[in-house]
Amino acid sequence: MLAFECVLSLGTTLLIIGGFIGITFLILLALSDANLRLIFKTHFGKRTASLAGKVVWITGASSGIGECIAYHLSEAGCKLVLSARRQDELERVKKACLKSGKCKTSEEDILVLPLDTVNYESHKNAVQQVLEYFNQIDILINNAGKGQRAAWMDVELPVDRELFEVNVLGPVSLTQAVLPHMIQRRQGHIALMSSVAGIVGAPISRSYTGSKHALHGYFDSLRIELSEHNIDVTLICPGPVSSNFFIQAATSKQGEVLGREVGKDEKRMSAERCAYLSCVAIANRMYQVWLAQQPVLLFVYIMQYLPDLGTWFLLKMGLKRIAKMREGKNNS
């Protein structure tokens, strides 16, 4: 009888502790705009300043998240390679970095290197230019990418091909050109700007969603192969972010662009906040991080750990409500 009472008491205690932990987790999650491990690192992990002196190559650095990452890293004292197709915009970003009162880099510490990520034949030469200038590449941030909005059945196959080339083969090709140098040095870090659409199937963007899922497949497998060379791979997965992402986003037809600005009524994470969290993830060499406001972050957690429940719930919500949530609009 005494043994039974002890077991019952222990079980009750464990239930209370488990319930407390569960409630605490839900409260922390509700207050978070990133997965909890990353939020923990923002308070107790390595700061972006720990990257000081590192040579960091950022693609898609002329606007949006890539531009904001450049500002954070220049303030941290990194040496930067800024790449995108528009040289004039890259020069603007460089000047903005140097004008910042917090900037710890000099003009010689920032290399502007125009690059089209789908011009695969140019990648080896671009790597050589960086090595001739800085002698090393410590971190490659594959940030360049393209979005899309269109109904699944309306999309022309060339649009799928274009998104795959920009969002997947571009990063694959550039990474493959950089890796021999990192492997020889036995150190390095590859970061990819993916999306929560690389984890959860997002409607009205089949080409974008498919390309981001593919990105995870390529680089999750690479991470394992590189482990013996002391080279890390970080997949950064933002949800809705306030940027000019949709201006050049693809639609259903080849050559057509969406050309829309982000609405003032849309609830989105700022590009600056996204860049800060991305830099923290890179500084702490994390495997994969999720950056999104609620309720998108909650759905990522559910789809990751309870996929059947998550799929059932999304189907019950319906396309219109999911589309509104994805665009940061009120679902009322």
* Tally of CA atoms within 13 A in the half-sphere of 235 that contains its CB: 23
Residue 310 has φ and ψ, to the nearest 5°, of -60, -45
Give the number of other Cβ atoms within 10 Å of residue 30's Cβ.
Answer: 11
Q: What's the mean pLDDT in 172-182?
A: 98
pTM of the model: 0.91
Reported as a pLDDT band with limits 50, 70 and 90, residue 18 is: low
Q: What's the mean pLDDT in 291-299?
A: 93
For residue 150, the 8-state DSSP code is B
Residue 208 catalytic?
yes
Report the mean per-residue pLDDT for the chain.
Answer: 91
Q: What's the mean pLDDT in 308-323?
A: 88
For residue 103, the 8-state DSSP code is -
- The structure tokens 């990194």 sit at 78
Contact 155, 256 (CB under 8 A): no
From the candidates 120, 133, 208, 287, give the one annotated as an active-site residue.
Answer: 208
User: Of 43-47, 210-214, 277-281, 316-320, which gets the smallest average pLDDT?
Assistant: 316-320
CA distance 1 to 307: 43
Q: What is the tens place of the pLDDT at every residue in 123-152?
A: 999 999 999 999 999 999 999 999 999 999
Quick one: CA dihedral 311, 222, 228, 57, positive or negative?
Answer: negative
Give the number of other Cβ atoms within 10 Å of residue 311's Cβ.
Answer: 14
- Percent of the chain past pLDDT 90, that is, above it, reads 75
Residue 189 has φ and ψ, to the nearest 5°, of -155, 125
Give the number of other Cβ atoms within 10 Å of residue 298's Cβ.
Answer: 16
State yes or no: pLDDT of 264 exceeds 80: no
CA distance 6 to 103: 62
State yes or no: pLDDT of 332 exceeds 50: no
Q: What is the tens place of the pLDDT at every residue in 210-242?
A: 999 999 999 999 999 999 999 999 999 999 998
State yes or no: pLDDT of 117 exceeds 90: yes
pLDDT for 172 equals: 98
